[in-house]
Amino acid sequence: MKKSYAIVGCGRVGTALARYLAGAGYKPAGFASRSLSSAKRAATAAGAKVPVSVQPWEVTPKADIVLITTPDGVIRETADKIAEYEGFAKGAVVLHCSGALPSTQLSAAENGGAHTGSLHPLQSFASEDIEKNPFAGIMMAVEGQGDAVKTAWQMAENLGASPFEIQTDKKMLYHASAAVASNYLVTLMHLAFQLIIASGVPASKSYTILKPLVQGTLSNVENNGIPRALTGPIARGDAETVRHHIAEIGEAVPTCLDLYRQMGRHTIEIALAKGDLSEETAAELRQMLGGTSS
Ligand SMILES: NC(=O)c1ccc[n+]([C@@H]2O[C@H](COP(=O)([O-])OP(=O)(O)OC[C@H]3O[C@@H](n4cnc5c(N)ncnc54)[C@H](OP(=O)(O)O)[C@@H]3O)[C@@H](O)[C@H]2O)c1
């Protein structure tokens, strides 16, 4: 039989977990949030008539699994408070869903005899609208104590996700990677949009025009890996084209130049690893892109 669960912090992630854990056969035990209306919304999402409260320790004691899905800044104090009221059952699994913070934020629960861990969905939850299972097909990072990892792993699979284990003391680096892959991709697309718009393409068409190129590149990374996926002027040592890029960007959209140069300097190193770029041209490119020539 599947375990029972309580959720503390019924926002975007908490409400999604409320619904899809119930859908996967886990038994709702109770929901708590800062406001009663959010706790009630999660109970409705789970389709359960169970206790709801603004005092988490009133809904957690009977739960096999307690998920603390408050904002990161209050995870530790929330766990501390529940432990102070002896709100964790002995042997319960207590998890939070932060990508950046380690499970050691839950040390108060551990001291009270619970097993602690974290379960981070690599997904962007933009609202509490969860008509479609947001866990289906995604990756979920798991870390913590043995029993907690086992339970979190099983939960991820039951939600339709693929779990993988990360190191507790390296979570911040793991999270930085996720931020680069997701957030900086947006920044990169913004740069590309600014340049294509400056070239005369209507803003409304910029995404449609660049999308197949971006998707093709992503598929090259998947199929060929880095550095083989790299193409373009730096990879083939075409310093003249890069020189013209710099001149025209500097004239038309100078605010884009710094990022173009920085990305270019990093691209030189990938091109060298690929093997098509000579050390001599690399030095010329480095100088052009603002680095040293050595
Ligand atoms: N959003 C994402 O894309 C995403 C993705 C992966 C992981 N996460 C992680 O998931 C966790 C939750 O994020 P979220 O985006 O779901 O946040 P959120 O939508 O802001 O929801 C957090 C909920 O916690 C409640 N809350 C705030 N302070 C509380 C307290 N002291 N005690 C009890 N409840 C409290 C809020 O309550 P009321 O509504 O009752 O005021 C709110 O509903 C975070 O650790 C975050 O890093 C988020």
Percent of residues, the chain, with pLDDT higher than 70:
99
Ligand 1 atom with least separation from CA of 35: 40
Q: Looking at residue 126, what is its pLDDT? A: 82
Residue 128 pLDDT greater than 80, yes or no: no
**Phi, psi torsion values for 138, nearest 5 degrees:** -90, 175
Task: Give residue-wise pLDDT tens across range 148-190.
Answer: 999 999 999 999 999 999 999 999 999 999 999 999 999 999 9
- How far apart CA 163 and CA 143 sit, in angstroms, is 10
Residue 294 pLDDT greater than 50, yes or no: no
pTM value surpassing 0.85: yes
CB atoms within 10 A of CB 262: 13
Structure tokens at 99: 């990508």
Q: Looking at residue 291, what is its pLDDT? A: 55
- How far apart CA 160 and CA 91 sit, in angstroms, is 26
Least confident of 13-27, 41-55, 120-134: 120-134
Residue 1 pLDDT greater than 90, yes or no: no
- Buried b vs exposed e over 216-251: b needs ≥16 C-beta within 10 Å? eeeeeeeeeeebebbeebbbebebeebeebbeebee
35 pocket-lining for ligand 1 (C-beta < 6 Å):
yes
Task: Give residue-wise pLDDT tens across range 214-262.
Answer: 999 999 999 999 999 999 999 999 999 999 999 999 999 999 999 999 9
CB atoms within 10 A of CB 256: 17
11 pocket-lining for ligand 1 (C-beta < 6 Å):
yes
Q: Looking at residue 64, what is its pLDDT? A: 98
Mean pLDDT of 260-265: 98
Residue 129 pLDDT greater than 80, yes or no: no
Residue 22 pLDDT greater than 90, yes or no: yes
What is the CA(16)–ligand 1 centre distance, in A? 11
**Residue to mutate (ligand 1; options 7, 8, 10, 13; most atoms within 8 A of CB):** 13
Domains of the chain: 4-166 (3.40.50.720), 173-288 (1.10.1040.20)
